[in-house]
Structure 1
Amino acid sequence: MIAQISPKAQKVIDDLAKFVEEECIPSEQRYEQELGQGAQRWAREPPVVDELREKAKRLNLWNLFLPKEYSQGAGFTNYEYAHMCEIMGRSINLAPTATNCNAPDTGNMEVLAKYGSDFQKQKWLAPLLQGKIRSAFAMTEPEVPSSNATNINCRLTRTQGGYLVNGKKHWISNAGHPKLEIFITMVRSGKSSLEIMNSPIKTGEFSIHNQHSVVVIPAKAPGVTVVRPLTVFGYDDAPHGHCEIIFDNVFIPSENMVLGEGRGFEIIQGRLGPGRLHHSMRALGVSERALEIMVERAINREILGSSLADRGVVLNWIAQCRIKLDAGRLLVLNASHAVDLRGASKSKKEIAMSKIFVPNAALEIIDRAIQLYGAHGVCQDTPLAGMYAMIRTLRIADGPDEVHAEQLGRNEVKLTKRRIANKSRL
């Protein structure tokens, strides 16, 4: 079923497409130049970003991501936002940031909007929505398989007036940003994994899903150390970064607890579903631009008196890329519409299919574009190498393909067993 797009949303889609093509993409080279070299890359956000953000605000292209049930958002459905988010993906380093729709801030703003106290909304959500500060989402840890949130071990302990946080995190996006103010952090506040495993009781205080909490940690709090940025195929992703963090006896006051102790798993599940879908939405835009680059190369590159676009194998590549891209788009739109109808928690199947299929399809498209370009495709002369590094990460981020596929397969088996059981009763 194809959902409807409101006239208001269609105008934003049209204005956004114009903004991305005429403002963001032409500014990409300037953005890279203004980043500078070495330590300069982490010292400030390139001035072009603030210029684009001011233009986006004037065009009402701001905070488009929050679903219509939130008063702080622009009032669009997830289905409508999917069209917008894909357009942003065409200029992946600039357009999401220019419109204040960039990860991980979007997910963090959703957490605070949905679960935050009035104090937390006023202190952190308001400036995030205004684009004055940046945030990071600190969940992944080097010592445990973090694709399963119940493994998280960063420790939260009570102390007078609040809590102490101790632990190590890595791959924390935005942690290197000069405007970073807070970490939305998942911590273990209950029993240890060993205590739960050895207990014959698996409910209440020994339930595996009641052992974690989500807290807000100020980036400049004593005991917070950003150890280093981690590179992705050599890309440092400055000024945002994907960093290694240490929390060493970091004190936070009681009011920094989100929703309540032991509610962390609930919050994280509510955050990750939409986040996975947003990644897939943006990946479609990356794919579309990569395909355009590929086709333009095929048209303009001549070998032995004829263009590459005249070669059957190249035409087949182009056709296969278009099929994969459009199939992925349908999966994303279907998942977005399902979230609108049922909510993210009841749309896990649709979200998982998008999360598996779209990054893999995008990688195939980008890889074929690189192959068509030859040596130029793997250097800085085209955006293709950076696209590949970024999208390859998505097959791991927010749960690897295999985790989502296993759950999909398990659910299909359950459905079939139920169908067989029902048939046997007739």
Structure 2
Amino acid sequence: MDFAYDARTEELRKELLAFMDEHVYPAEEVAHEQLAAQDSPWVHPPVVHELRAAARARGLWNFFLPDTEHGAGLTNLQYAPLAEIMGRSPHLAPLALNCNAPDTGNMELLAQFATPEQKARWLEPLLNGEIHSAFAMTEPGVASSDATNIETRIVRDGSDYVVSGRKWYISGAMNPDCAIFIVMGKTDPDGADVRRQQSMILVPRDAPGLTIKRAMGVFGFEDHLHGGHAEVVFDDVRVPASNLVGEEGGGFAIAQARLGPGRIHHCMRLIGMAERAIELMCRRAVSRTAFGKSLAQQGVVHNWIADARVSVEQLRLLVLKTAWLMDQVGNKGAHTEIQAIKIAVPRAVVAILDRAIQLHGAAGVSQDTPLAELYAGARTLQLADGPDEVHQRSLARRELKRYV
């Protein structure tokens, strides 16, 4: 395994770092000011559209898709350091480059499983940044970490399917530009194989019976720039049978294909969040005095900074190894490593952000630094895409099989 960045990655890193300094970081405060001044906090403020235009003009666009037909043709190993840089401003940078979740996972899903007609109607506008999308899987009434529990029904009725159910924490759904929902539900709830009961279907936002019921907060934050998280009701929503993604009963397999890249993308960005936290810790430590000396002279602060640096270096290597394996042997071959980073990275980054908040005192929990919002996002990722315990259970079973 050679983790040295190749020439193309180095060139893109240089371009992206310059873009962050020149455009993204200065736009952070502007974005929040513009959101506060708007009638709706869910509409992208003008600075977001300016960032997206500037990024696309510089060729910083759709890095996440590995094929040259739809994306930049980067491998996972090439994309990892770019996603890390974007993670330093996770609410603006991925959005500026059209590399933001859940659109990335949805575009990957459509690129892999959609029909040519579905791609023309939904994938192309997503790739062009003309619309946004949502992935509707999680439900409030069941433990959705076990996808076999999903209760939403997708029932065939002649040339249509009828979708009925309630979803929540549907990311991006509050943004009116979220034009399409990929909905997971059961087409065969009584099927013998519990992993062949689910299917996925495309539901346009304007379909009769689809209701955005309310916005869901995350530790008090509503994540306006990413379109928030919503509770969504599907009340006998009728869509053409041609909106089915893949085949009936293929939803579980499609979900697994979507989640592998999604999980590593989250972990890549989390490392960037940790790097931002370390930078803020160091700047705070050298500029703040307490009990007659700077915080940088306090032994406990030395320990926090040193431990943070060690953790980030370890995590980066594990993520790079996972990216390399995904490139070499595919997502299934890297299954154990994907689970390992999903467990290790959010947990460690939460700890780093917690120390950074502590070092900033009251400012750390305020809106005057990005730390509180970064903490909320990192902590949530211990639940999103499967809680830690689900991954621990699966990984442990895989290890134990070697000894049975």
Tell me the TM-score range normalised by the shorter chain.
Answer: over 0.9
Could you report, residue by residue, the CA deviation over 1:31-81 in whole angstroms, capped at 9, with x for unpaired residues?
Answer: 001112685202x2100011011110111100000013x521101100110
Mapped partners of 1:178, 1:369: distance in 2: 35
Counterpart residue type for residue 85 of structure 1: A
Residue of 211, 217, 221 corresponding to 1:231: 217
Equivalent-residue separation in structure 1 for 2:4 and 2:240 (angstroms):
46
Deviation at residue 4 of structure 1 after TM alignment = 5.2
Deviation at 1:294, TM superposition (A): 0.5
Equivalence for 1:92? 90
User: Aligned ranges for residues 101-112 of structure 1 at < 5 Å?
Assistant: 101-112=99-110
Counterpart CA distance in 2 for 1:87 and 1:329 is 12
What is the rounded CA distance, in whole Å, between the counterparts of 1:316 and 1:3 in structure 2? 28
Residue 146 (structure 1) aligned to one of 144, 147, 153: 144
Residues of 1 paired with 2:109 and 2:184: CA distance?
A: 12
Q: Which digits, 9 at most, give the CA deviation of each residue in 1:166-212, with x for residues without a partner?
A: 000000000001211000111100124xxxxxxxxxxxx52111111
Structure 2 Cα separation of the partners of residues 329 and 248 of structure 1: 44
* CA–CA distance in structure 2, aligned partners of residues 109 and 267 of structure 1: 13
Query: 2:54 matched to which residue of 1?
Result: 55
Secondary structure in 1 aligned to 2:175? coil
Match for residue 185 of structure 2? Answer: 187
Q: Which amino acid aligns with 2:250?
A: R
What percentage of aligned pairs have identical amino acids? 49
User: How many Å apart are 1:305 and its aligned residue?
Assistant: 3.4
Residue-by-residue CA offset, 1:234-287 (whole Å, 9 max, x unaligned) = 111115111100000101101101111111111000001110111111111111
Q: 2:206 aligns with which of 215, 220, 225?
A: 220
Name the residue aligned to 1:15.
15
* SS of structure 1 residue aligned to 2:238: strand
Residue 9 (structure 1) shift: 2.4
Q: Does 1:210 align with 2:209?
A: no
Q: Is the 1:366–1:387 contact (alpha carbons within 8 Å) kept by the matching residues of 2?
A: yes
- Paired position in structure 1 for 2:334: 347
Query: How far apart are the structure 2 equivalents of 1:181 and 1:4?
Result: 40
Amino acid of the residue matched to residue 83 of structure 1? P
**Aligned match of 2:379 in 392, 396, 415?**
392
Output aligned runs, 1:297-316, within 5 Å. Answer: 297-316=284-303
Match of 1:66?
Answer: 65
- The unaligned stretches of length 5 or more in structure 1 are 193-204, 418-426
**3-state SS in 1 of match to 2:156:** strand
Q: Report the AA paired with residue 47 of structure 2.
A: V
SS in 2 for 1:164: strand
Deviation, 1:3, is 4.0
User: What aligned pairs does 1:363-374 form with structure 2 within 5 A after superposition?
Assistant: 363-374=350-361
CA offsets per residue over residues 367-392 of structure 1, 9 Å max, x none? 10111111111111111111111111
TM-score (normalised: structure 1): 0.93
Instruction: Give the RMSD, CA atoms, in angstroms.
Output: 1.2
In the alignment, what sits opposite 1:421?
A: none
CA contact (8 A) 1:213 1:265 kept: yes
Q: Which residue of 2 aligns with 1:319?
A: 306
| Residue 280 (1) aligns with residue 279 (2) | no
Runs of 4+ deviating beyond 6 Å:
none
Report the Cα distance in structure 2 between the residues aligned to 1:107 and 1:293, rounded to whole angstroms: 30
TM-score (norm 2): 0.98
8 Å Cα contact 1:362/1:391 also seen in 2: yes
Distance 2:388 2:297 in 1: 36
- Write the distance in 2 (CA, Å) between the matches of 1:337 and 1:126: 28
Segments of structure 2 that go 5 or more residues without pairing to the other structure are none
User: Aligned partners of 2:399, 2:254: CA distance in 1, in Å?
Assistant: 26
- Verify the 8 A CA contact 1:45 1:178 in the aligned structure 2: no
Matched residue of 1:206: which SS? Answer: coil
Inter-partner Cα distance in structure 2 for 1:11 and 1:348: 30
Deviation at 1:5, TM superposition (A): 3.5
* 3-state SS in 1 of match to 2:234: strand
* 1:242 counterpart = 2:229: yes
- What is the letter of the counterpart of residue 92 of structure 1? P
Following the alignment from structure 1 to structure 2, what is the Cα–Cα distance between the partners of residues 376 and 144?
A: 38
Q: Secondary structure at the match of 1:41?
A: coil
- Provide the rounded CA distance (Å) in 2 between the counterparts of 1:409 and 1:160: 45
User: How many residue pairs get matched?
Assistant: 403
Distance in 2, matches of 1:103 and 1:45, equals: 15
Alpha-carbon distance in 1 for matches of 2:353, 2:21: 20
SS in 2 for 1:270: helix
Q: Does 1:133 align with 2:112?
A: no
Matching residue within 239, 249, 254 for 1:267: 254
Opposite residue 391 of structure 1, the aligned amino acid is A
